[in-house]
Amino acid sequence: MKLIMAIIKPFKLDDVREALGAIGVEGMTVSEVKGYGRQKGQTEIYRGAEYQVKFVPKVRLDIAVDDDIADRVVETIRDTANTDKIGDGKIFVLDLASAMRIRTGESGNEAL
């Protein structure tokens, strides 16, 4: 199993979720995060003074998936979250040692 961690632009969340649903991924966990990278944050101006907002709001998806479909999930996220503009984000893949569904105690692929 893999744990796929994707950092994407917030307004792409709904699209990505739907695209993943279409290929059979029904569960995921989402967090609001702040990204630092090439893309710079907005400048805000209050009473004439500039405030450089150093972070850019991003959304992070954590998705545990079976090894079989990991590549397809990565591709799907890539295709859907892509806007060809700087700051589109990253997809990281980690090996998952084990997984368990709390409600049933099932583990492995059953748990996802």
Partner 1 sequence: MLRRLIAFRSVLLASGLAVLTPTLALAQDGGVNGANTAWILTATALVLFMTLPGLALFYGGLVRSNNVLSVLMHCFAIACLVSVLWLVAGYSIAFGSGGALNQWWGGLDKAMLAGVGMDTTSGDLPESVFFMFQMTFAIITPALIVGAYPERIKFGAVLLFTALWLLLVYAPVTHWVWGGGWLADRNVMDFAGGLVVHATAGTAAIVLALALGARKGFPGDVSPPHNPGMTMIGAAMLWVGWYGFNGGSALAADGAAGMAITVTHISAATAALTWMLVEWIKLGKPSLIGTVTGAIAGLATITPASGFIGPVGALAYGIVAGIVCYIAVQLIKQKLKIDDSLDVFAVHGVGGILGTLLAALFASPALGGFGYGEGMTMTSQFTVQVIGVVSVVAYTAIVSLIIIKVTQAVAGLRSSEEEETMGLDLSEHGERGYSL
Ligand X SMILES: Nc1ncnc2c1ncn2[C@@H]1O[C@H](COP(=O)(O)OP(=O)(O)O)[C@@H](O)[C@H]1O
> Within the chain, what is the greatest distance between any pair of CA atoms?
58
Please, are residues 41 and 53 in contact by the beta-carbon 8 Å criterion?
yes
50 near a second copy, judged by CB under 8 A: no
The C-alpha angle 5, 89, 100, rounded to 5 degrees, equals 10
Residue 99 has a CB neighbour count (10 Å cut-off) of 17
Binding residue count for a second copy, defined by CB under 8 A? 55
- DSSP class of 82: -
For strand 90-95 and strand 2-8, is the pairing parallel, antiparallel, or unpaired?
antiparallel
Binding-site partner at residue 109 among a second copy, ligand X, partner 1, none, CB < 5 to 8 Å by type: none
Out of 28, 40, 66, 72, the only residue in the binding site for a second copy (CB under 8 A) is: 28
Segment contacting partner 1 (CB under 8 A): 42-50, 61-69, 74-82, 89-97?
A: 42-50
Choosing from 15, 19, 37, 66, the residue that interacts with a second copy (CB under 8 A) is 37
48 binds a second copy (CB under 8 A): no
Query: Binding residues for ligand X, per CB under 6 A?
Result: 7, 27-29, 35-39, 56, 58, 62-64, 86-90, 101, 103, 112
